[in-house]
Amino acid sequence: MKRYRITGLVLGILTLGLYSCYETFDPESYAPAVSIGGFTSTEEIAPTNLIAYWPFDGNYTEQVSNTSGENVGTSFGNGIKGQALDGANEAYVLFEPTQAILNLDSFTLAMWVNSQSTTEAGGIIGLVSLSNKNAFWGNLETFFENNSTNTNGKFRAHVQNDSLDTWVSKDGIVNLFNSWNHLTLTYDAPTSTFALYVNGTLSTTSQVAGFGNINWQNPGKMVFGTVQFQTTPSLTSSATSQPWASYLTGLLDEVRMYNVALKPNEVDALVKLEARGN
């Protein structure tokens, strides 16, 4: 009996050792990747057209060119994906635009924003801009307009092209503040058409006859977290700080620029995949 007990003990130890060589079965690790619009990752969306990407994941480096931005008073907070730029009063990030940004014809600008309202901020809230050294508004200026509320959020984008300029405006956006929202602005040069998507859904379009290929005027630095004339010193000779303008005292994350106007299914996939952390 003693011999059998010893034999059984040895078999038990061997069996335990054998099972310890294998990891616990995890059903999720065998599940197929989630596919949204035919994409399983944001990296699969127009990869050859992505010209700039700021994840703000603990640094201010643009990932395509590996170029660092200049921080003025911002920090990092919890993002929609990893970390995000955390703005503050009189705080922003400056970036020297790459040739790919300066040479755009069509474009897509996409970003996640978690902002307080313009009433709380005390003025319009600048998001992402490409400055124009000699004009009041930037070549590309995006911001939340004054008197925006969670029942009537107001987005504005100014775009300069040669001697032409235009505005993309959308009022009536609901739940725009104090929660994460995704904004995508596209411009298709062959059709001179702008489109704004809110959380992946087409919100407004506008066609500007003869707008054609983009040709920025007197471009200077890019700025994240305010408009071009609120920096110190101002990025334009045409204006200095305005009492009705303010800063993003909230979060900005996953800012991307493409040299094409993304298609609706690509915008939808980008939003849903980034929200899943993919």
User: pLDDT tens digits for 58-96?
Assistant: 999 999 999 999 999 999 999 999 999 999 999 999 999
The pTM of the full predicted model, rounded to 2 decimals, is 0.89
**CATH 3.40.50.1100: does it fit domain 38-275?**
no
How large a percentage of the chain has pLDDT more than 90? 86
Instruction: Check whether 46 has a pLDDT greater than 70.
Output: yes
Q: How far apart are CA 170 and CA 131, in angstroms?
A: 22
Neighbours of 238 (CB within 10 A): 13
Q: How far apart are CA 127 and CA 237, in angstroms?
A: 20
Q: Where are the domains of the chain?
A: 38-275
Instruction: Determine the pLDDT at residue 125.
Output: 98
User: pLDDT tens digits for 134-163?
Assistant: 999 999 999 999 999 999 999 999 999 999
Q: What's the one-letter identity of residue 145?
A: E
Neighbours of 240 (CB within 10 A): 12
16 — pLDDT class (breaks 50, 70, 90): very low
Size (the chain), residues: 278
What rounded mean pLDDT belongs to the chain? 91
Average pLDDT over residues 253-260: 98
Q: How far apart are CA 166 and CA 46, in angstroms?
A: 26
Neighbours of 10 (CB within 10 A): 10
How large a percentage of the chain has pLDDT more than 70? 88
Q: Under DSSP, is residue 120 helix (H, G, I), strand (E, B) or coil?
A: helix
